[in-house]
Chain A
Amino acid sequence: MTRVQRLSLALLAMAALGAAGMFLGPDGWFGLDIGPIGSAVLYGAVWLFVIHQAKFAGEVFPEHWSPAEKQSWVALVFMALITLHMVNMLLALPGLGADADQVRNPATRALWLNLGLLIFGWIVIGTQLRKQDGAGIQVDERDLRIQHRAGRVADGTMALFIVWIIVALFALPEQSRTWLRPLIVANALIALLIARTLIENIYTVWRYRRERA
């Protein structure tokens, strides 16, 4: 592993640490609210990674990875962060009381801002990678086959998960379903779609790794 790749991993570890801090939020660490610090560390690490990737073009990812595999890893990292933000928001919603029934509430406003920043970072890194790989083939039949298989795995997992949710909802006693308000359910469904994409990304990178082994 080169020095540039070690630094990339350190930045990713820093981002994971920041994400964990952000997720723990209020009362997360000896009663201290480390949410804002975690968020700052996460976004600091993500932007440092963007700069690092721009500065050391072509050296961040191993040379033997195909362009589509590199893009899959980037997608996995960003989808994991987006899922984390979504779960964080879903956990915050029930605590907002009546505000949770409003389309515009503090939790969703923060989520959209963070999603905007993450998607912007994803586009920047994706564009940089495409430029580095030049005019060569970006995606070929092997990549498409892996992506197709990943899509099927994600769909299958999602179908099982939806069945489990239906059974769980029927099994829940009436008084435990009070948090099931329309806006919370709508957000949970969006989270489910995001989780499906995350599963697809996880399978894709695993498959690339397995085919190399």
Chain B
Amino acid sequence: MNVIAFYIAAAIAIVTTLLVITRKNAVQALLYLALSLISVAVVFFDLGAPFVAALEVIIYAGSIIVLFIFVVMMLNLGKRATLAEGRLLQPRMWIGPTIFAAILIGEVAYLLARGNATAAAAHLVSPKEVGMALYGPYLIGVELSSFLLMSALVGAYHLGWHKQPKPETEDVGREYSTRIDAGRDTVRAGSSRPAGAP
């Protein structure tokens, strides 16, 4: 375990996390969040857990951040989004994340160049050991997490599927109710008519 590399990555993680919770712009905060996760991955790599570091980069910094970005982009559609996109391309927005990412890349390159010496110093927990433990004593946990992922899949599908028709009917209902309010007596009389009446 390389102490200097660990402290640099830890400092970057803390600074980027602070920046995440203080940014006003969601996209900028997401950039810093991705950097925070990647720096934690570098910490894992330094601690002798390369498998978990790869998982962190792939799942957290890959898929979860992409999910967040999708939602943020869906939430502010419209004309304002194109203006915001123009602002995103200014150097002020991406210069900070770029600097931090460059530092992390240099650190990983340094650790890889050091190679086997660091890996031998920190007791390396290989992916094979993790897999043996995962499917040995933790088999129930694997099954339970598969339950959890399945239920999350079904739940997210249900919530997302319900979303599409609902705003439409809601809007139509609101419009209809305002129309009722505008001509209250006539429509009220009509709507209280029994269903089978002509």
Is B truly associated with A?
no
Q: Please list the residues of chain B having a beta carbon within 8 angstroms of any beta carbon in chain A.
A: none
A residues near B, CB below 8 A? none
